[in-house]
Structures are given as structure tokens and as C-alpha cells.
Amino acid sequence: MSQSQLQQQTWELERGAALREDGSVHFAVWAPNAAAVSVRIHGGPAAGEHELERGEEPRGLWAGTVADVGAGADYTLLLRSNGKGRKGETREVPDPVSRWQPQGVHGPSRVVDPHAFDWSDGDWRGVSMAELVIYELHVGTFTAEGTFESAIPRLRALRELGVTAIEIMPVAEFPGGRNWGYDGVDLYAPQSTYGGPEGLKRLVDAAHREGLAVILDVVYNHVGPEGNYLDSFGPYFTEAYRTPWGRAVNYDGPGSDEVRRFVLDNARYWVHEYHVDGLRLDAVHGIFDFGAVHLLQELATLVHEDAARLGRTVVVIGESDLNDPKLLREPEQGGYGLDGQWSDDFHHAVHAAITGEREGYYSDFGDASLIAESLRDPFVYGGRYSPHRQRRHGAPSGGLEREHFVVAIQNHDQVGNRATGDRLSQVLQPDQLRLSAALLLLSGYVPLIFMGQEYGERRPFQYFVSHSDEQLVNAVREGRRKEFEAFGWGDEVPDPQAESTFEASKLDWQCLDQREHAQMLALYRDLLTLRREEPGLRPDGAALEVTHGEGWIRVLYHPRGEVNAQRGATLLALFNCSGAEQRVPLLAGHWQLRLSTDAAGYGGRERVAASAVLEPAAARGLVAHPSATVTLPAWSAALFVREG
């Protein structure tokens, strides 16, 4: 049995428009706010209105089958008010479970045959957390064309770089053609201007052919404002809680069973109909659920059960601002059972130490000692007092393996949520950029690379939208200005609505022809090659010993487990996180240089010794012994392997 056949037998989406073999379509919509529901077919033999019948369970479900519709037919839903609006008023809206919105968020929905695509990935089994090297990309700015299809030719270069998974920023249909994706309103419909359902499936299938997993960024903490018709259907939102993005989704109040199903079905939908290998859950601290079984636990359980039946690995990764290990602990331990979570403390520690910025949340960080702490434990703030928050923050992550934590030195938030969207390549010197890359890829965590970072892209990644409501546009503009007050970045904020803001954010792939960008790419490729070849550099392959001094960090990687000990070597990484030359204490042994960020091939000056020796007898006088140090130039890193 092929994987596609197996997928068809394990789970089917029952809400929305389900195409039957005879060309009829079964429509099912949860709309307890409606007194009557009809479906209007736009064109073809079934053109016209067709009433749906109210079912008994669950309350508010309307359903019916319409003959002679077929794939490709456009339709809308007609909802007659039950009195919460003007009594008897009828509203024509898209399907909340629309698989395709070819004319955008305000247009009709389209019937899609979920089994029509000819998949070629039957032998694909996914990628585990420990094997992940994630490359985050925004479809609209990744290429000049800004489509799913145009991203495909770039996949091979990513695989050759050492990437094992692409993480696609949200693609649920959003207003217009310019948006980060976090204003999506049609959760089941891949963005029409990117290429719709067919385009996304082509991209996923092509990625699997290249040996790349696909992680999809999904947003379950809020729904965008424009084109959001969910209030017409039922109690999708609650006033009991508030998020930074507006009303919270109703996950634990009256009517929440079907709201939860709406989101849980969506997670399963991407796994089954689009073969994605992972879900990145946006800002889960904005998901409020005080029921006995949290939505995140239920979601992770369902996805993992589906993956097991399919014989695949599918990971669930949460973004959280809480430093809460509960997300990762198993349900038996009182946790939610997610596979991973973003850990921002590493980013903040590296950024603050190397850039010198101390505004906003960077005030909690500063010198190299906090980078060292983030290498020891993903949560620098694991219960300690946070000056920025003026309270204790987080909880200890003890007992959780490093493979559960995704770290970055740049991502869409940390670049795009700066006033001008400036990247590190616009803020740092080349040697500082190289040091940052080494800290990331030798961290022993799961690394995330933001598109263009690998070659030092200098174009910004700015915040952009294309709303049609001028009042909403003005609110977005004002909101962006207020957001940057704590950072003292003034009013130098590009207009989010301007097409020029979007165009300025597109990657400049031609700059790879320039020497400095090619050198940066070579460093990333070599670091990822070392990470692949040396088990001790993987999150599941080593035990790390981290030591630090004034401006320097030393990390010893011991291969863990019998297999890794046989295949791998003991490695020593030295980091100079200061603007002055440093003499970093050595450990006993014969050490051979494997990589230096100061190498000429990366744009450096070859100032690190090719080997270093400290005999065991001299180890007791490690700091004072004249041969017990390695001299590192400012803002550099070196990796040594122990011989013998």
C-alpha cells in the first residue's frame, strides 16, 4: 500500500467541502449562531442555492450533499442570523474550513480534491529533532517571484549547505499578497498568491526528494482582523482573556469543543493532506486553556498518533516566551508532550554581548558569562529574577535533553521586529558575524538559520502588510511605532503598507557572487559539515562542559554513549566574545585545530595556532603555565580535536 493510500485510510477532514467519487460534495459547517445555512454554488450544473440541514450533534452543525459539483467549483455559505445580529439578516461568507481561496479572503471558497496530487515521497519518513538543522523562510521574499514553485530550485543548495529542514512562515490565506502570514484568517487554505494548494504540495514533495523535511508555522493563538468571518458562525473567540494581537481564541468556554476541533483538525490536515513533517506553533503563551487537558497536549498527542500510524516522524515545536519546561515534559509528568520549543535566551545572550545593545529585553543580558550560561542551560532565566520583567521568570529545564531546544541568532521576529528590519550583517563586523555563526552551530542545540543569514544577506527583513481597510492600516502603523518605544528606535519605521517595504525585504541571491558573501557561506557549510561528521556536536551526541572567564568561553564536548564514543572524538571549542585578543586556558591533551573563524578562507587573518599541547603533568597549573593557553584574536572562535 502506498503512503498516499495509507493517508487516505487513516483520517479524513469531515468539515468543509468533502468531494465524493461521484462528483457530489458533502458540505458540513459548524454555525450555532445561524438560524439557517445554505451553500451557493457559483456556476456549473449545480449552480444556485442549496439548503443545509441542522444536525442534532454536535449542536450547531449544518450539513448536506449537493450533486454534480466536482473539484474546482466555487461556493459561498449563506448564514441567516438567529437574532444576535439583525434578525433574519443573511450574510454571504467563505467557508471557515475552505481548502482554497483563489480570490482572497473575501472571495468564494473552492472545492479541492485532496487525493488528486501525485505524490512521489512514499519512502520518506521524516527527520528527528536531533537531526534537525532548520532553515526558516518567508515564501514571498525568499525569491523574486515569491511563490511556492519558485522556491523549489533553491532546495538543493540548502541540502548541500547542511540544512535538513525548511520551516515555512505561515501560509494560511491572508489579506492581499504581502504579509508575514500571522494575519491569516483561512487556516486551511494555502495562500493563493503563493500558488495555492497545488503549489504548496509541489514544494513539500520536492523538499522530500531532496532529503529535506518541511516544518509549517501555524498560528492558533489568534486570527487576523481582515477577512475574519468566524463570529458569524459561532463562539470562536472569548473576552475572558486577551492576547497582544487581540481577542483570544475560545478553547475552554461554552462552545469550545468545536473550536478546539477546528484547530486540532487543522494540525492533522497539514500532516495528512500536505505531508508536512512538523508544526511550529506560534506564541503558545497566547493560547489560554484552563481545561483538564490542555489544547497543546491534545494536539501533540493526536499528531504523534497519526505519525505513528503513517510510519513517519512528525514533530511539534512551540514558540513560548515563558521558559516553561512543562511544554516538553510528557503528560505523565504533568507536561504537554511537545517535541521542542524555541529558546530565546540564547539569542538574547549572544545578541546583547556582541552588539552591545541593552534596550528592552536585552537589558537582562550583557557579557559573555550569560552566553556561557545559555550553553549550559537553554533557560538563562529558569526561575531567577528578571530586571526587565521586574519579577522571577521561567523554571529550570533539568532532565530535558538538548535536542528539545531550538536556538537562533536571527529569526523573523528578531530581525523583522526591529524598527528598520536590519539584520546582524548590517549591525556587526565580519569577524563578529563569524563568531555568532560558530556559537550557533557549535551550541549543541537544534540550530535555526534565518533565510539569507548563511551568506550575510544585507537587505533588511521588514514588517509588511497589504490590508484593504485604511483604518486598519493606520492602526498597524501606529502599533509598530509604539512597539519600538522601549528600544529607543524612534520613528524610523518603514510604512508596513507600502509595496516598497515588501520589495526591499526580498533576498538578493546575486550577492553570492561577491567574495565576502561566498566566504560567509563557506563558513556555514564547513561548520555544518563538522556538525554532521562529529557526533559530539549534535544535541544527542555529547555531554558539554562549559567554562568561562572575562570575555571568553570554553566548551568541551564528550561523545556520549558507546556508539558515539567509537565514531566521534573529544572536541574543544574556544570563543573570544570580546573586542580584544584573549589567551584562553587550555585543557590537558594534544589538540589539533579543526576550524577557526579567523581562517583566510572565511575572510580572517589566520592568527590561530594549528595545534596546541598541554601535557597532563602541567594541567594542575593550568592558568599560570605559559603553554596552557591558546591565543584567540578579537571576536573569533576555534574548534580543536583531541589526538590520541
Catalytic residues: 282, 319
Q: Spell out a b/e string for 371-402, using b for 16 or more CB atoms within 10 Å of the CB, else e.
A: bbbbbebbbbbbeeebebeeeebbeebeebeb
Distance of CA 242 to the CA centre of its chain: 23
Helix (H, G, I), strand (E, B) or coil at 58: coil
In 3D space, the residue among 566, 322, 537, 301 whose CA is nearest the CA of residue 441 turns out to be: 537
Residues in CB range of 274: below 8 A, 6 or more apart: 190, 200, 201, 204, 216
In 3D space, the residue among 104, 162, 274 whose CA is nearest the CA of residue 526 turns out to be: 162
The runs of H, that is alpha helices, within 491-570 are 499-504, 515-533, 562-567
The H-or-E segment that residue 352 falls in is helix 344-355
Distance of CA 407 to the CA centre of its chain: 11
Q: Give one word for 387, left, alpha or beta, with left for phi > 0 and alpha for psi -120 to 50.
A: alpha
Question: Do 303 and 310 contact (CB within 8 A), yes or no?
Answer: no
In angstroms and rounded to an integer, the radius of gyration of the C-alpha atoms of the chain is 26
Q: Rounded to whole angstroms, how far apart are CA atoms 606 and 518?
A: 18
Pairing of strands 237-243, 213-218: unpaired
Question: Do 325 and 396 contact (CB within 8 A), yes or no?
Answer: yes
